[in-house]
Amino acid sequence: MLPFTTSAQRHNLKSHALKFLELAGLAVPDRIYSKYPHELSGGMKQRVLIAIALSGEPALLIADEPTSALDVTVQKQILDHLDRLRTELNIGILLVTHDLGVALERADRVVVMRDGGVVEEGSSDTLLHRASDPYTRRLLAAAPGLQTGTLTPRPIRVDALTPHASEERASSEYAIEVMGVSKTFHAAHSKAEPVVAADDVSFRVATGTTHSLVGESGAGKSTIARIVAGLRTPDEGEVTLLGQSGTWDRTRLSRRLQFVYQNPYSSLNPRMSVADLITEPLRVHRKDIDRARRRVIAEELLDGVRLDRKYADRRAGELSGGQAQRVAIARALSLNPEIVILDEAVSALDVSVQAEILQLLVDLQAAYKLTYLFITHDLGVVRLIADTVTVMRHGSIVETGSTATILDNSVDEYTRRLVDSVPGTHLFL
Name the percent of the chain lying above pLDDT 90.
43
pLDDT one-digit tens code per residue, 244-303: 887 777 777 888 999 998 888 888 999 999 999 999 999 988 888 999 999 999 999 999
- The pLDDT assigned to 167 comes to 54
The predicted structure's pLDDT at residue 396? 95
Please give the average per-residue pLDDT across 63-90, as a whole number: 85
For the chain, the average pLDDT equals 86
Q: pLDDT-based confidence at 158, cuts 50/70/90? A: low
pLDDT digits (tens, 9 = 90+) for 31-71: 888 888 888 777 788 889 888 988 888 999 999 988 876 77
Q: Are 7-146 and 162-420 in the same CATH fold?
A: yes
143 closest CA partner among 120, 127, 155, 156: 127
- Report the SS3 class of residue 93: strand
Q: Which residues pair with 259 in a beta bridge?
A: 341
Q: How confident is the model at residue 338 (pLDDT cuts 50, 70, 90)?
A: very high
Q: Residue 171: its pLDDT value, please?
A: 72
SS3 61: strand
Length of the chain: 429
pLDDT for 207: 95
CA nearest to 345, candidates 297, 307, 388, 382: 382
Q: CA torsion, points 373, 196, 346, 278, in degrees to nearest 10?
A: -60
Q: How far apart are CA 355 and CA 224, in angstroms?
A: 26
Spatial CB neighbours of 71, under 8 Å, sequence gap ≥ 6: 42, 43, 216, 217, 377
C-alpha distances in Å from residue 24, one per residue of 32, 58, 315: 12, 14, 42
Q: How many CA atoms lie less than 13 Å away from 414 in the CB half-sphere?
A: 15
pLDDT bracket for residue 17 (50, 70, 90): confident
Q: How many helices (H) and strands (E) does the chain have?
A: 17, 13
Specify the pLDDT at position 418. 87
Q: Which residue blocks in 60-188 are alpha helix, DSSP H? A: 72-89, 100-106, 124-130, 134-142
Strands 371-376 and 339-343: parallel
CA atoms of 8 and 328, how far apart (whole Å): 56
Over pLDDT 70: what percentage of the chain? 90
What is the model's pLDDT at position 9? 61
Output the pLDDT for position 164.
47
- pLDDT score, position 147: 66
Quote the CA–CA distance of 390 and 162 in Å, as a whole number: 33
Whole-number Å distance between alpha carbons of 55 and 65: 20
Q: What average pLDDT does the segment 109-113 reach?
A: 94
- Rounded Cα distance, 405 and 416, in Å: 12
Instruction: Look at residues 107, 97, 116 and name the one whose alpha carbon lies nearest to residue 352.
Output: 97
**How do the domains of the chain map onto residue ranges?**
7-146, 162-420
Query: Which comes out higher in pLDDT, residue 2 or 56?
Result: 56
pTM of the model: 0.82
Alpha helices in 334-426 (DSSP H): 351-368, 379-385, 403-408, 413-420
Mean pLDDT within 109-129: 92
Least confident stretch, 1-10, 276-285, 341-350:
1-10
Q: How confident is the model at residue 370 (pLDDT cuts 50, 70, 90)?
A: very high
- Topology at the third CATH level for domain 162-420: Rossmann fold (3.40.50)
Domain spanning 7-146 has what CATH number?
Answer: 3.40.50.300
User: What are phi and psi for residue 286, nearest 5 degrees?
Assistant: -130, 75
Contacts of residue 66, defined as CB under 8 A and 6 or more positions apart, other chains included, come to 46, 49, 50, 78, 79, 82, 95
Q: What is the pLDDT averaged over residues 203-224?
A: 92
Rounded CA gap, 54 and 5, in Å?
24
